[in-house]
């Protein structure tokens, strides 16, 4: 038996191909939306992977350092390092800001890392060009997504940094590329006030009789020195010695240092389950709407094509064509349209995904799920056309 659907598609291929392309672009958008979500999750995981930490020590009763602000003294790491089972403990700061680069600025996650400890937690694990930070000040390693190049001068707050290294796939949970600078500079960048504000603060301190006692100028100096420095970091990244259970080490830090400690799974849950949960629901809604729109388009196209063949269907029924042959023809056309659409959509998404400003991760599993969804949508969308075709009276082929 010849394929009636195949012959019809070949006969009016232009109509099918152009409709398939239109549908395919819609499917491409749907796959891309799924890719955007996967990219967000991957960004979150990459952030955790690249930090190379087993435990994140943050301010008590916060979900820091990524989902909530966290602030703890920068000397906590010493005590943490002496706890049994801790291999290393390193300060780190995170600050999302606009970084000046030439005439434009770029949104980045400025990360402060401890210099002199190359390879410690928080550092970029690999470079694609240049070198790691070796000086204590004014050097930076940037993710290539920033657009910075080796030797570029970038301005963070009032200071200018030389880009000495480039890395890849170092992004924040919201997809902003990371720029690594020495932690002292990062601490200063987080809390640095302008000169007028500093003068105003000194004046206020001097006018406070409790702090500016006659005959005790060193008290005032000490207070001003405290106000001018920033002894805080956002988190301490901890690596656990082999053979020690992470939960036990975390519990020790909680008990002795009275700080909040998260392990990898907890941090992943915070990032994926809380930080990007709203975005995920938003994307989920988009996916549902796009699926409904795709189904409506396929249903409309197949219904229109079927209605255009009512006389032929009546003739086919009159000359003895079985209902299942006619239903099969319509179903195959719907599936054919879906197949064209899926191929166009997959290819389109693959081509335009790298152009998106944020990371779009197209997973094979999502493509398979998308294909199954397209098949289901096509089957459902063809149902109304099949119902209409089966209702056609073969007597319509006979005049009168």
Using the rule CB under 8 A, is 365 a contact of other proteins?
Answer: no
**Choices 67-75, 174-182, 297-305, 313-321; region in contact with other proteins by CB under 8 A:** 313-321
DSSP-derived pairing of the beta strands 159-167 and 153-156:
antiparallel
What's the CA gap between 290 and 216, in Å, rounded?
72
**Least Cβ distance, residue 316 to other proteins (angstroms):** 7
Do 110 and 181 meet the contact criterion of CB atoms below 8 Å apart?
yes
| Residues 6 or more apart whose Cβ sits within 8 Å of residue 145 | 168, 171, 177
151/400 with CB nearer other proteins: 400
For the bound state, the minimum distance from the C-beta of residue 305 to other proteins, rounded and expressed in Å, comes to 11
Q: By CB under 8 A, tell whether 315 contacts other proteins.
A: yes
Binding mask 323-362 for other proteins (x = CB under 8 A): --x-------------------------------------
Closest CB to other proteins among 266 and 332? 332
Of 179 and 316, the one with the shorter C-beta distance to other proteins is 316
Closest to other proteins by CB, 15 or 202: 15
Binding mask 12-41 for other proteins (x = CB under 8 A): x-----------------------------
Question: ω before 65 within 30° of 0 (cis)?
Answer: yes
Query: x/- string (CB under 8 A) for other proteins, residues 293-312?
Result: ------------------xx
Q: Which of residues 154-213 bind other proteins (CB under 8 A)?
A: none
Q: Which of 209, 242, 320, 364 is close enough to bind other proteins by CB under 8 A?
A: 320
Q: Does residue 1 belong to the site contacting other proteins (CB under 8 A)?
A: yes
Query: What does the alpha-carbon distance between residue 233 and residue 74 come to, in Å, rounded to a whole number?
Result: 5
Residues composing the chain: 400
Task: Please identify which residue in 97, 129, 211, 397 interacts with other proteins, judged by CB under 8 A.
Answer: 397
Nearer to other proteins, 253 or 329 (CB): 329
Residues 353, 35 contacting (CB under 8 angstroms): yes
How far is residue 212's CA from residue 217's CA, in Å, rounded to a whole number? 7
Determine the interface stretch with other proteins among 3-11, 157-165, 194-202, 204-212 (rule: CB under 8 A): 3-11
Rounded to 5 degrees, φ, ψ at 120 are -70, 165
Q: 319, 357, 365, 391: which one contacts other proteins (CB under 8 A)?
A: 319
Nearest approach, Cβ of 336 to other proteins (angstroms)? 13
Give min distance, CB of 148 to other proteins, in A: 59
Q: Evaluate whether 343 touches 22 at the Cβ level (below 8 Å).
A: no
Among 128, 277, 380, 395, binds other proteins (CB under 8 A): 395
Total residues interacting with other proteins, rule: CB under 8 A: 26
* Only segment of 145-153, 272-280, 320-328, 359-367 that touches other proteins (CB under 8 A): 320-328
Nearest CA to 97 out of 41, 161, 46, 151 is that of: 161
318 binds other proteins (CB under 8 A): yes
Helical H segments across 192-276, by residue range: 195-207, 217-228, 246-257, 264-268
Task: State the DSSP H helix or E strand holding residue 139, giving kind and residue range, or none if neither.
Answer: strand 139-143
According to DSSP, the β-strands at 86-101 and 235-240 are antiparallel
Neighbours of 160 (CB within 10 A): 12
Contact 133, 201 (CB under 8 A): no
C-beta of 312: minimal distance to other proteins in Å? 5
Decide if residue 11 touches other proteins (CB under 8 A).
Answer: yes
C-alpha separations of 392 from 90, 301, 329 in Å: 76, 18, 15
Among 317, 340, 385, 389, binds other proteins (CB under 8 A): 317
Cα–Cα distance measured from residue 367 to residue 343, given in angstroms and rounded to the nearest whole number: 10
The two structure tokens encoding residue 176 = 């902003």
Contacts to other proteins by CB under 8 A: 1-2, 4, 7-8, 10-12, 311-312, 315-322, 325, 393-395, 397-400
């Amino acid at each position: 038996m010849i394929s009636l659907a195949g012959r019809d598609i070949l006969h009016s291929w232009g109509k099918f191909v152009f409709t398939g392309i239109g549908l395919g672009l819609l499917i491409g958008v749907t796959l891309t939306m799924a890719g955007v979500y996967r990219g967000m999750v991957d960004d979150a995981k990459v952030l955790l992977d690249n930090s190379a930490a087993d435990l994140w020590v943050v301010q008590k009763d916060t979900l820091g350092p990524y989902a909530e602000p966290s602030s703890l003294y920068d000397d906590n790491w010493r005590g943490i390092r002496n706890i049994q089972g801790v291999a290393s403990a390193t300060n780190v700061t995170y600050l999302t800001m606009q970084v000046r680069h030439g005439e434009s600025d770029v949104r980045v996650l400025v990360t402060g890392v401890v210099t002199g400890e190359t390879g410690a937690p928080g550092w970029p694990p690999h470079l694609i060009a240049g070198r790691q930070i070796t000086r204590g000040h004014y050097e930076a390693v940037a993710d290539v997504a920033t657009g910075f190049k080796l030797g570029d001068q970038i301005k963070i707050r009032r200071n200018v940094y030389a880009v000495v290294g480039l890395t890849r796939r170092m992004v924040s949970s919201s997809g902003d590329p990371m720029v690594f600078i020495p932690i002292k500079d990062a601490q200063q960048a987080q809390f640095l006030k302008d000169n007028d504000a500093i003068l105003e603060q000194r004046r206020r301190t001097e006018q406070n009789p409790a702090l500016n006692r006659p005959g005790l100028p060193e008290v005032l100096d000490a207070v001003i020195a405290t106000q001018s420095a920033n002894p805080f970091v956002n988190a301490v990244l901890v690596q656990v010695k082999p053979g020690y259970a992470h939960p036990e080490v975390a519990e020790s830090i909680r008990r002795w240092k009275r700080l909040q400690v998260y392990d990898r799974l907890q941090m992943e849950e915070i990032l994926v389950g809380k930080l990007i949960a709203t975005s995920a629901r938003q994307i989920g809604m988009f996916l549902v709407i796009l699926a409904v729109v795709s189904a409506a388009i396929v249903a409309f196209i197949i219904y229109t094509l079927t209605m255009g063949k009512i006389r032929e269907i009546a003739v086919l029924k009159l000359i003895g064509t079985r209902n299942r042959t006619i239903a099969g023809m319509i179903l195959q056309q719907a599936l054919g349209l879906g197949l064209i659409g899926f191929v166009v959509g997959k290819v389109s998404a693959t081509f335009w995904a790298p152009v998106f400003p944020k990371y779009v991760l197209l997973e094979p599993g999502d493509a398979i799920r998308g294909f199954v969804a397209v098949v289901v949508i096509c089957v459902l969308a063809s149902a109304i056309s099949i119902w209409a075709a089966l209702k056609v009276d073969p007597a319509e082929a006979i005049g009168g």
